[in-house]
Amino acid sequence: MAIQWFPGHMTSARRKAGETMEFTDVVIEVLDARAPEASANPMIRELREHRQRPCLKILNKADLADPAITSQWLDFYNRQQGVSAVALSCKSATDAARVPRLCQPLAPHRNSTHKPLRLMIMGIPNVGKSTLMNMLLKRRVANVGDEPAVTKSQQCHKISDQMTLTDSPGLMWPKIEFEEDGFMLAAIHAIGRNAVIEEEVAEHLADNLLAHYPERLTERFGFGTAGMDGVDVVTAIAKKRGCLIKGRGGEPDLEKAAMILLTEFRAGKLGRISLETPASREAMVSRSSEIALQ
């Protein structure tokens, strides 16, 4: 199933973001460190490049991602023109405090009360924008929730006499080009549950884990993974955790088992895991291009 999710309020949010970009000096784009490119909205890149605005890419939730792979992504982004990248956890006050200092060199001409540095936080839903906003301002000004698309309107605040910060709603894009991206976004909970089938998302996540982190499944759930596919993993979790459908002769409850896998992955209980690398991304895009030419 191809996953698509574009709630109605995002059309007006995109238009407003485009208007605000004219009066923005640096874009802070928050990504999920477990799937940085999958969680990078191409519309954000288009908007900032149209206005030629520099960007600080924050690979948030770095404490949940594979550190070796995160390092590869930082190298990937820091080679891009007009882009600086950092990995951190927006829940950490110490990490969040680094952000203004990292933004200032991107617009050195804006550093006074007469010309304050104007920042705008952007990103897809549920990657931690509101958490970062609250940490930077040292007070709760933005709603934070476990469900995507909590923030629905822009908010502008003063960090200091030399710096302002605008928080924008989470922005998806109208059509997710790569099916793989849809599943990764669903796995990290950046897409509303009404747009996905949890069993399919969990099976896809399990296939990824089997390919790259099979030992984590064994450590967490206590079964060997040899010869398994994603469906087998979800079924095995159901049996291990006693997820059975009542009155169905011990039939495994795959929906409940799927939510166990997704919830524990999202909480980091399977360890620090990344769903894509720069190399896997390049290979996926190449495969898609080859298919398109056939």
Q: Residue written as tokens 């574009």?
A: 6
pLDDT of residue 78: 97
Q: What is the pLDDT of residues 3-51, one digit of tens each?
A: 665 555 566 777 888 888 899 999 999 999 999 999 999 999 999 999 9
Q: How far apart are CA 242 and CA 256, in angstroms?
A: 10
pLDDT of residue 256: 97
Averaged pLDDT, 76-102:
94
- Do 2 and 184 touch, CB atoms closer than 8 A? no
Q: Is the pLDDT reported for residue 169 higher than 70?
A: yes
The CATH H-level (homologous superfamily) assignment of domain 13-167 is P-loop containing nucleotide triphosphate hydrolases (3.40.50.300)
Strands 83-87 and 117-123: unpaired
- What angle is formed at CA 280 by the lines to CA 30 and CA 55, rounded to 5 degrees? 25
Q: What is the pLDDT of residues 257-289, one digit of tens each?
A: 999 999 999 999 999 999 999 999 999 999 887
Q: Write down the architecture of domain 197-288 according to CATH.
A: Orthogonal Bundle (1.10)
- Rg of the chain over Cα atoms, rounded to whole angstroms, equals 20
State percent of the chain over pLDDT 70.
91
Put simply, whether the predicted model's pTM sits higher than 0.75 gets the answer yes
pLDDT of residue 292: 64
For residue 64, what are the CA distances in angstroms to 87, 108, 154, 162, 218?
11, 33, 28, 33, 19
Q: Is the pLDDT reported for residue 152 higher than 60?
A: no
Q: What is the pLDDT of residues 68-85, one digit of tens each?
A: 999 999 999 999 999 999
Question: Which residue from 188, 181, 180 is spatially nearest to 147, judged by alpha carbons?
Answer: 188
Q: Is the pLDDT reported for residue 167 higher than 60?
A: yes
Domain ranges of the chain: 13-167, 197-288
Inter-helix orientation angle 214-221/230-240, to 10°: 10
Q: Is the pLDDT reported for residue 149 higher than 50?
A: no
